Structure 1
Amino acid sequence: MQRPLSASPLAILVFVLAACSAPVAPVPQDTGPPTAPTGVTATAGSASTVHVMWNAATDDRAVTGYAVYREGHKVKDLPAATLMTDVTGLAPATRHRFTVRARDAAGKVSPPSATVTATTLPAAAEDRTPPTAPTGLRAAADGSRAATLHWSPAHDDTRVTAYDVYRADVRIHTVPGTATTTRLTGLRPGTAYAFTVRARDAAENSSPDSAPADLTTAPSPGAPPNTAPEDVAVATAPGEITLTWTPPRTGAPVTHHELHLNGRFATTIVWGTDPPTGRASYGFAVQDPPGTRYVVTLRARLPDGTWGDFSAPRTAVVR
């Protein structure tokens, strides 16, 4: 009987080495530094602070952070998602020069941005009186990724030096105290937003929030319409927060809503077989100390069982 042929150890080794030497796709190289940030602005907010903002830089891989420089010396390192900062501890009535650089994961640094200047305000006598809240805030969507805000001026016993724009209780933009309008960019298509504005004086006293202004950006082409609850209102009493809103129009009764506090799921609101046909209302107890702030959002369960879009956020302050 003829014995079956078997491969020699050397042949097996050659085969294994050949298999291991199969070509591997090259890893893309980082070919250059990020672009220099554009649209840099600097606004004096007080006798010792300047607010610096800029537009996002680009990179062939990804921008991982930004550095802010004053008079050529680095004063801030910031993550890629941050496009503004306050530079503090400055001398009063002094002109300062600022630039911004982007960096990528390979450690490459962009050229400096254009230089912008701001002069801090003169030192003033002690001022503990905040400005009044801005009034008449209006918000209009500008396509799917931008919005324009308008408001009426606030008043102060000295003068208003800046207006701060807030979204979900987080400051996202600052303009000089002479401005009563601004344009916001970088928004998401088909999303409900709520904005408020606070006035600030040279002593860094901030006004109460303006009344919120809501808007929904235009959806992306072919995207379904927004399904967020509308006209959300917040009322507070000692130890209690009450919400009212208009459920979305889904073609069927909306029996479930999700309540989120500070971006986290809190509870599901269920009405069973007899949900409200108009305005809905829900109250809940809170045990946090007075002054605690909550950002409140809602979303509805749609007829197909999925959850719809989040409402524009509202801020509730515990009493």
Structure 2
Amino acid sequence: MRRAALLCAASALAASCGWGSAAEGGGEAAPGAPTGVTAEAGTATSVHVMWNTVAGAEAYEVYRGRTKVREVSGTERMVDVPRLRPSTAYVFTVRARDEDGRTGPPSREVRATTPAAAAEDRTPPAPPSGVRGRAAGSRAVQLSWSAAPDGTGVVSYDIEQGGTKIHSVGGNQTAAVVTGLRPGQDYAFTVRARDAAGNVSPAGRAVRITTPGADDGRATAPTGLRAGTHRADGAYHIDLTWVPPVTDGVITEYQVQLDGSQATALVFGGDAPRDRAEHTFYAGREAGVTHRVRVRAKLPDGTWGGWSAERTVTTGE
């Protein structure tokens, strides 16, 4: 990408090369370049690429050289690039794209070399042992473990939180720092080893860490909650709208509480709203019934944020 940037240095060429960071087709600026980009071989034929969240990103494009090889939603911060060749060096960059289609400049180049292909191997590595960790401030933890034995050698380690892969490091590393956490929260992390053939070990012993500090939930609570009702098919329904909390990532899952008990859970998926969310649910057939409602979001770190302010709504009004 550096050579591409040099070739496109003149403004006339920048437009034709498509690498400019100015807004494309609009007055607003395009997203910035992703930072913190890393690449580690996952197997003899794949590389794991990670990056930090870019504000306003609707999607991320991952490039191998100048070829776009993967595209993921703005809720993702990592991807596995498959179908590579063993014993080969690769260069990767990442670009962010906003909801209006404006694409930002490429990240810095990162390099990874896939290991040699192993002979037929269906035996996974042993699970990492001696997993331990400590809080590194109120929003990060530092994990370490002992190297996992494997007949052909460990290529990478996957760090999981609540059964979800959230980080990966090379097989020559036995430590990692996980960021983007919340103060005063309980977390459980496990580590798995992966060999060149793609075999993955069982998870090592879970390590549980509580980040220091306090979080009253206000910074992670949805705001601007509004509640109303409408009647349809002989029944009343409660209509909610709210503003998602500002977090390092996109909120895709919420819980709605009705009169102190969970009424429903909703998952928006890849089209999660960023500016204002809305949801409607069944509230019964009787008019004049007053209900209390509030909403909370599941945050990118896997914990639940604070509850929104509570609202009252009466069916039929």
Band the TM-score falls in, shorter-chain normalisation:
0.5 to 0.7
The residue number in structure 2 matching 1:55 is 52
Q: Secondary structure at the match of 1:63?
A: coil
The count of aligned residue pairs is 201
Indicate which of 170, 177, 180 corresponds to 2:174. 180
**Could you give the per-residue CA deviations for residues 241-273 of structure 1, whole angstroms, max 9, x where no partner exists?**
xxxxxxxxxxxxxxxxxxxxxx99xxxxxxxxx
For the pair 1:43 / 2:37, whether they are aligned, the reply is no
**Unmatched 5+ stretches in structure 1:** 1-28, 225-262, 265-309, 314-319
Counterpart of 1:185, as a letter, is: T
Indicate which of 93, 111, 128 corresponds to 1:117. 111
Equivalent residue runs for 1:29-108 within 5 Å? 31-58=28-55, 62-108=56-102
Indicate which of 133, 139, 143 corresponds to 2:133. 139
Structure 1 residues 83 and 223 mapped into 2: Cα distance closer, same or farther (>3 Å)? closer
Counterpart of 1:38, as a letter, is: T
**Could you give the per-residue CA deviations for residues 144-199 of structure 1, whole angstroms, max 9, x where no partner exists?**
21110011111011111111001111111110111111100111222211000001
Q: Distance in 1 between matches of 2:104 and 2:69?
A: 17
Counterpart of 1:99, as a letter, is: T
* More displaced 10-residue stretch of structure 1: 94-103 or 116-125: 116-125
Counterpart of 2:206, as a letter, is: P
The residue number in structure 2 matching 1:189 is 183
Native 8 Å contact 1:30 1:106 kept in 2: no
Using the aligned pairs only, state the percent identity.
49
Counterpart of 1:125, as a letter, is: A
Counterpart of 2:92, as a letter, is: F
Equivalent residue runs for 1:1-319 within 5 Å? 31-58=28-55, 62-220=56-214
Q: TM-score, normalised by structure 1?
A: 0.59
Structure 1 residues 115 and 223 mapped into 2: Cα distance closer, same or farther (>3 Å)? closer
Q: Distance in 2 between matches of 1:57 and 1:135?
A: 35
Native 8 Å contact 2:158 2:191 kept in 1: yes
**Could you give the per-residue CA deviations for residues 80-116 of structure 1, whole angstroms, max 9, x where no partner exists?**
1211110001111111111000111121111000011
Q: Distance in 1 between matches of 2:116 and 2:36?
A: 27
Q: Distance in 2 between matches of 1:217 and 1:95?
A: 38
Structure 1 residues 185 and 130 mapped into 2: Cα distance closer, same or farther (>3 Å)? same
What's the CA shift for 1:206? Answer: 0.8
Q: Distance in 1 between matches of 2:182 and 2:98?
A: 24
**Unmatched 5+ stretches in structure 2:** 1-25, 219-253, 256-297, 303-317
Q: Distance in 1 between matches of 2:110 and 2:163?
A: 28
What's the CA shift for 1:30? Answer: 6.2
Q: Distance in 1 between matches of 2:137 and 2:167?
A: 19
Q: Secondary structure at the match of 1:45?
A: strand
Q: Distance in 2 between matches of 1:132 and 1:163?
A: 12
Counterpart of 1:197, as a letter, is: V
Q: Distance in 2 between matches of 1:168 and 1:91?
A: 32
Q: Secondary structure at the match of 2:58?
A: strand
Q: Secondary structure at the match of 1:43?
A: strand
What's the CA shift for 1:79? Answer: 1.1
* More displaced 10-residue stretch of structure 1: 168-177 or 211-220: 211-220
Q: CA RMSD in A?
A: 2.7
Native 8 Å contact 2:194 2:201 kept in 1: yes
Counterpart of 1:57, as a letter, is: V
Q: Secondary structure at the match of 1:136?
A: strand
Native 8 Å contact 2:183 2:215 kept in 1: no
